[in-house]
Amino acid sequence: MIDDSPFVPIVCSLLIPIVVCLWLSLRLRRRCRLLHDLPTSKVRGAFIGLVELKGAAESESPFTSYLAGAACTLYNWHVDERWSRTVTETTTDSKGNTTTTTRTESGWSTVAKGGESAPFYLQDDTGALLLRPDGAKIEPRTLFSEQVSRSSPLYYGKGPDTSVSDSDHVRRFVETGIPLHAALFVVGPARERADVVAPEIAAQRDAALFLISTRSEEKVRSSLSGWSWFWWVLGLLIAGGPLCFIVYSASDFRLPSSYLYGTAAIPVCYLIAAVAGWVWMVYNGLVGLRQRVRQGWSLIDVQLKRRHDLLPTLVTTIAALSDHERDVQEAVAALRTQATATPPGVTGADFEGVADQLRVVIERYPQLTAQPAFASLHKELVETEQRVALARTYYNDIATHYATRLEIVPDRWVARLGAMTPEPLLAAASFERAAVPVSFAK
């Protein structure tokens, strides 16, 4: 008969790793769902809040990496040195018998490291956006990786002159970073920049995720999903371990029925907790997705309000510049006509009055800027309409994700708990706002 005094503490000690495995599994699964639900935005369409972007890494002043010598937006390197030693241990048992054992230990110690990092830009076909990598989870590329002996020029050329204790005189040089022009997948919180009127992506305390990866979105999501299943299965194996032990030992020991029921309850409770955690994760994910849909709608109104407030002011200003340029041109034409019509030395019409009028106009307006102003208005009109179009596209994308989540099984069963309904998509015929008139007619 097995004594239950050591068995109960062993079972209790398994609860912590079981809970940790389940928590890690749900956390990774939640991030995977978040990436799936976030539509990929353009740089010009990056608004305030959590955004997903794809583009190229660019920098006005790129770094030159220490080991590879590559142009990078950021990089980190380290040099590890291998060591090995022989350890002799002498132990004495309860009867006074002495046993001596010898074993060999080996490992790596970091002997040098470094790197450089600074804000850089993410650029796509619509523009560039500033990234501040501090606080982000960065998945860089491997720029350099080589293991050398002391005879290699790299050993002391890029490594320190001193060695660790019990060194094998073998060093490993590794460097990772984000090369210039490298394709990036970025998920992070966007906010307004402090220096100019433009968004930037930087770490925020309450952000659900801040990721800068050189891998594609598909690879990132596949990795998150795979690790999520790994931790879930590992937790199930740990939870079912005592039950397997009891079943295996049933033929050799006389076990009370409480042992079987108690150990069987562990994997059952694990599965129940996993289902409850999954429902909690899905429900919160749907709530967050619904909030992003509503945010997408508000972003459209923000862009329309910007268009409504900005364009009339620009039109009024440019109209005034146009009138000024017309007055100046008329005054110049009148002055030129009078000067041409009156031969030198012949008394004619006094054009000094026109000259005084022209002088006053030029002093009040030193430069004629109507033509550049019209070009600026045209550019602003195009960019404003592009902002509105990107906001509409973002809303339709996120609303489509939300509607799909509400229809697929088993998410639709969880959605019924909150009586969630799809948000209508934005159609051109149903979306009407007052147009901003652009006219310079008198």
Three-class secondary structure assignment of 263-283: HHHHHHHHHHHHHHHHHHHHH
pLDDT of residue 439: 46
pLDDT of residue 293: 79
Where are the extended beta strands (E) located within 250-349? none
pLDDT of residue 441: 46
Per-residue pLDDT tens over the stretch 361-401? 555 554 545 556 556 655 666 666 666 776 777 777 778 87
Q: Tokens standing for 51?
A: 């955004």
Per-residue pLDDT tens over the stretch 69-80? 999 999 999 999
pLDDT of residue 438: 42
Q: Give the highest mean pLDDT range of 234-238, 249-253, 401-405.
A: 234-238
pLDDT band with cut points at 50, 70 and 90 for residue 202:
very high
Q: Mean pLDDT over residues 37-57, rounded?
A: 85
Q: Give the highest mean pLDDT range of 179-188, 194-203, 328-337, 406-415.
A: 179-188
d(CA 120, CA 62): 9
Per-residue pLDDT tens over the stretch 322-333? 555 665 566 556
Domain ranges of the chain: 46-215, 286-344+356-418
Check pLDDT > 50 for residue 247: yes
pTM of the model: 0.71
264-to-23, 71, 91, 240, 250 alpha-carbon distances in Å: 21, 58, 40, 8, 14
Q: Mean pLDDT over residues 104-117, rounded?
A: 93
pLDDT of residue 436: 45
Per-residue pLDDT tens over the stretch 261-312? 667 778 888 899 999 999 888 888 888 888 777 877 777 776 676 666 666 6
Q: Name the more confident of 316 and 363.
A: 316
Per-residue pLDDT tens over the stretch 5-40? 455 566 667 788 889 999 999 999 999 988 988 888
Q: Give the highest mean pLDDT range of 44-53, 90-99, 158-167, 218-227.
A: 218-227
Contact predicate 169/160, CB 8 Å? no
Q: Mean pLDDT over residues 242-256, rounded?
A: 59
pLDDT of residue 245: 61
Q: Name the more confident of 404 and 248.
A: 404
21-to-25, 234, 263, 309 alpha-carbon distances in Å: 6, 7, 18, 53
pLDDT band with cut points at 50, 70 and 90 for residue 2:
very low
Please state the φ and ψ torsions of residue 143, each to the nearest 5 degrees: -90, -30
In this prediction, what percent of the chain has a pLDDT beyond 90?
A: 35
Per-residue pLDDT tens over the stretch 115-154? 999 999 999 988 899 999 999 999 999 999 999 999 999 9
Residue 256: count of CB within 10 angstroms of its CB: 11
Lowest mean pLDDT of 93-102, 346-355, 400-409, name the range. 346-355
